[in-house]
Amino acid sequence: MPAEQLVAEMVPPPRFDGVRFSTYIPDPQQPSQTEAVRVLSAFADGLGRGATAAGSGRKRWFRREPKAAAPAGPRGVYLDGGYGVGKTHLLASLWHAAPAAPERKAFGTFVELTNLVGALGFQQTVKTLSGHQLLCIDEFELDDPGDTVLVSSLLARLVEHGVALAATSNTLPGKLGEGRFAAADFLREIQGLSAHFRALRIDGEDYRHRGLPEAPKPFTDDEVTRAAYATPGAALDDFPSLLEHLSTVHPSRYGALVRDVAAVCLTDVSAVPDQSTALRLVVLADRLYDREIPVLASGVPFDRLFSEEMLKGGYRKKYFRAISRLTALARDAEGLLRA
C-alpha cells in the first residue's frame, strides 16, 4: 500500500468517531480528570495558534527562510493513568480538536506505529509524518529494546520537524519498559523519550464498570452457537482454535481480521497457556473494543483468562485492560441472546 494510504488510515477508531472534550464526563471525585480536559483543550488551542503564526506574513520570493528552531522543552503531552479512566477518549478528542486537516494529523496505537515503520522503513516514515501537525499514540508501551531505540529515534526526528506529540499509557514515560526488559541498559533512550512529553496523571476507577452490575457469567456452548446463527454477520469460533490461528496472523492485521464482523461468538473459552498467546489476545481485545464488536462466550469468565503470575508481571496492565474491555463487550453481547 502507498505510504499516504497507510497513514490516511491512522484515524481514531469507530468507537471514538464522535467523542469530544465536551462528551467526556469527569468523575467529580477525581479533579485530575477535569484538569486533563483543561490542559488538553489548551494544548489544542496552542496548535491552532502555532499554525496561524506559521502561515502568516507575505511570501518572500527567491529568499530562503531560516529553518525554525525546535521548540524548547516538551513538545507533547503524555496521559498516564489506570485502565478505564478515559485516556483514549481524551486522546481522540484532542485529535478532533486539533485545527489541522485530517491528512495532517495521525492517530494510532503504539503497535500500529511500529508496524508502520516496518512497512515503510524508517526514513520513509519520517518523511511521511514530518509534515503533520499532530501525532497521537495510544497504548504507548515499550516491550523490547528494539522498539525503544526505534521509537526514540523516530519521535526525536519528528519533533525536529515541528510535529506535536500526544500519547496515552498505563506507565509513566520514565518507567517505560520496566519489568519487561533490562530498561537500565537503555536508560538514555528512555530518558530521551520522556523529554518529549509533559506527563499528565489521570486518576480514577474504570468507567466501564462504574456503578454497573457484575460481569455477565459465561453462557453454554449451545446458547452461544444458537445466538451466532441467529445474528447476521456473527463469527463463531472455538477459542483454542482461534488462539492457534492468531499465531499465524501478524497483530497489525487483527483489525482487518474483524472487519465487517457484527459479533464474535466463542465457545470453550479457557485460560491462555503462555505469555505470547496472552499478548496476542490483548491486541485482539483492543481491536474488538475499538470497533464496538460484542463478544458472547462460553467457558471460563474473562477475569480468569490470565494466570496470577501474568497478572503480577511486567505486562499486568495490558492484561487488566484486556479483561476490562472484554467484560464491557460481554455486556454488550447479552442483547444477542435476548434477540
Cα separation, 107 vs 114, whole angstroms: 13
Q: Which of 111-125, 137-151, 166-180 tops mean pLDDT?
A: 111-125
| Site of grid cell 508496524 | 115
| pLDDT tens string 29-55 | 999 999 999 999 999 999 877 554 344
Please report the pLDDT score of residue 184 as a whole number: 46
Is this structure's pTM higher than 0.95? no
CA diameter of the chain: 75
Q: What is the pLDDT of residue 79?
A: 86
SS3 43: helix
Alpha carbon 87 to its chain's center: 9
CA atoms within 13 A on the CB side of 53: 7
CA distance linking residue 283 with residue 236, whole number of Å: 19
pLDDT score at 144: 60
Q: In the predicted model, is pLDDT for residue 62 greater than 50?
A: no
Question: 46 with 98: CB under 8 angstroms?
Answer: no
Question: Around Cβ 259, how many Cβ atoms within 10 Å?
Answer: 10
Look at residue 57 and tell me whether its pLDDT is greater than 50: no
The answer on pLDDT for 65 being more than 90 is no
pLDDT tops 80 at residue 84: no
Q: What is the DSSP string of 246-257?
A: HTTS-GGGHHHH
* Sequence-separated (6 or more) residues with CB below 8 Å from residue 199: 78, 80, 172, 173
Which class is 3-55+62-207 in CATH?
alpha beta
Amino acid identity for residue 311 in this structure: L
Q: What is the mean pLDDT of residues 51-71?
A: 41
Q: Cite the beta strand spans of the chain per DSSP E.
A: 76-81, 105-109, 134-138, 164-169, 198-202, 234-238, 263-269, 295-299
Whether 230 and 261 have beta carbons less than 8 Å apart is answered as no
